[in-house]
Copies of this chain bind each other. A is one copy, B any other.
Amino acid sequence: LSDEVALGPGAEFDTIRALLARWGARAIGVGDDAATLSVARGDQLVVSVDSAVERRHFRPEWSTPREIGYRAVVAALSDLAAMAAIPTGILLAITLPDAWRAKLDELADGIAEGADTVRAPIIGGNMSGGTELAITTTVLGSAFAPLRRGGARVGDSVYVTGVLGGPAAALRSLEAGHGVGAHHERLKFPCPRVHEARWLAERGATAAIDISDGFIADLRHVAAASRVTIDVVGASVPHVDEVTLNTALSGGEEYELIVTTARAFDVEEFRARFGLLLTQVGRVTDGERAEVTLDGARVANISGHDHFSR
C-alpha cells in the first residue's frame, strides 16, 4: 500500500485499500479526489471510456474473474490503439455486487494484467455496490497526431492486422458445449494493438478503427466518418479455418485494427516486428454513398456482433 494512499476509515475504503494492495506499484497517486497526469508538450490528450456489464459483455459461466477484468481493460485500451495513442493512465469504476466480493482479488489480477499489456499505471477509480458486476474503464493516452475514423481518402488502401475469426470460433465452441477450443487466447486474452498502431501511424496511416463490433460493422464507421465507399475483397481477408468468411467479417471482440493509407505498408517488416499479419483487404473508392461493399456488392446483411452475450 503506497504511502500516498491514506484514506479515512470505512468499508468502501477497505475495499479500495484491498484493491490497491493487490495492484501494488501499478497503482500510483490514488487517494485524492481526482488523479493528475502530465501530457507531453504538443501532444493531444486522448481519452476513452468503455463498460463491461455482467451478462451483456461477459457470462460468468464462460469467463473467469481474471478474464473479465483483463478483457474490460483491454477493450478500452484497444480504443486508444485505434487512435495511435500511447496509454498513460487508467481509471476503473467498478460496480461490485456482494456476491462478487470474494472474487475481487481475481478481478483485480485480471485488471492488472490488462494494464500490464501497455505498462499503463492505474491512477484512479470508483467503487460502488449494485446488483450486476460492471467494470467501466477510462483510458488516457497521448498522441501528437491522433488517428481518426474520418481520414480515409479515395484511392487509399485498406489493411487489417492479424487473422480474423478466432474469437468467433472460440465463442462458437463454447456455445456448442465443446469448451473454448484452439482460439482460447484470442478470445480470452486479446492484445491491444498499441505498438502496431504507432508503427502504422508513423508510416502514413490515414484512418483507423479497432474491430470491436465486427470487421464490416466497424469498417462502416470508417466509411461513414470519411464519407467514402470502401470495397473489400473477400478472398483477401485472412481468417481462421474454423469459421466462414462471413462469420469472420461479422465477429466482434477481435481488437485487431483496420487502417487506411495512401501508401503501401511494408507487410514483411510489420510481420517481422510484431509477429502478426498485416494484409491489404480492400480499397477506398469514389462511390455515391458512404458504405462498404464486399466483392462489389453492397453489404447489408452482415450484422455487427452484439457483444459476448449474444
| Residues of A that sit less than 8 Å from B by CB | 4, 6-10, 31-39, 41, 44-51, 53-57, 79-80, 82-83, 85, 89, 91-93, 95, 123-126, 128-132, 134, 136, 138-141, 143, 146, 148-150, 208-210, 213, 217-218, 220-221, 223-225, 227, 290, 304
* Chain B residues whose C-beta falls within 8 Å of the C-beta of A146 in the assembled complex: 32, 34, 36
Closest 8 CB pairs of A and B: A8-B220, A34-B48, A33-B82, A33-B79, A6-B224, A136-B136, A36-B44, A37-B45
* Chain B residues whose C-beta falls within 8 Å of the C-beta of A217 in the assembled complex: 8, 10
* Chain B residues whose C-beta falls within 8 Å of the C-beta of A10 in the assembled complex: 213, 217, 304
* Count of this chain's copies in the oligomeric assembly: 2
Name A45's contact: one of B49, B140, B208 (CB within 8 Å): B140
B44 touches A41 (CB 8 A): no
A47 touches B149 (CB 8 A): no
Q: Can you pick out 5 interface pairs between chain A and chain B where the beta carbons lie within 8 Å of each other?
A: A6-B150, A7-B224, A49-B93, A50-B126, A126-B136
* Chain B residues whose C-beta falls within 8 Å of the C-beta of A32 in the assembled complex: 82-83, 146, 148-150, 225
B35 touches A227 (CB 8 A): no
CB-CB nearest in chain B for A130? B53
* Chain B residues whose C-beta falls within 8 Å of the C-beta of A123 in the assembled complex: 47
B6 touches A33 (CB 8 A): no
* Chain B residues whose C-beta falls within 8 Å of the C-beta of A46 in the assembled complex: 34-37
Knowing A51-B95, A136-B93, the reply to whether A33 touches B209 (Cβ < 8 A) is: yes
B41 touches A41 (CB 8 A): yes
Knowing A6-B150, A95-B134, the reply to whether A35 touches B56 (Cβ < 8 A) is: no
A132–chain B nearest beta-carbon distance, Å: 6
A220 touches B149 (CB 8 A): no
Give Cα distance in the complex from A93 to B92, angstroms: 12
* Chain B residues whose C-beta falls within 8 Å of the C-beta of A149 in the assembled complex: 31-33
A308–chain B nearest beta-carbon distance, Å: 12
* Chain B residues whose C-beta falls within 8 Å of the C-beta of A150 in the assembled complex: 4, 6, 31-32
CB-CB nearest in chain B for A290? B6
A124 touches B51 (CB 8 A): no
Knowing A8-B224, A83-B32, the reply to whether A47 touches B126 (Cβ < 8 A) is: no
* Chain B residues whose C-beta falls within 8 Å of the C-beta of A223 in the assembled complex: 8
A96–chain B nearest beta-carbon distance, Å: 10
A81–chain B nearest beta-carbon distance, Å: 8
Q: Considering residues A8, A10, A149, A227, which has the most beta carbons from chain B within 10 angstroms of its beta carbon?
A: A8
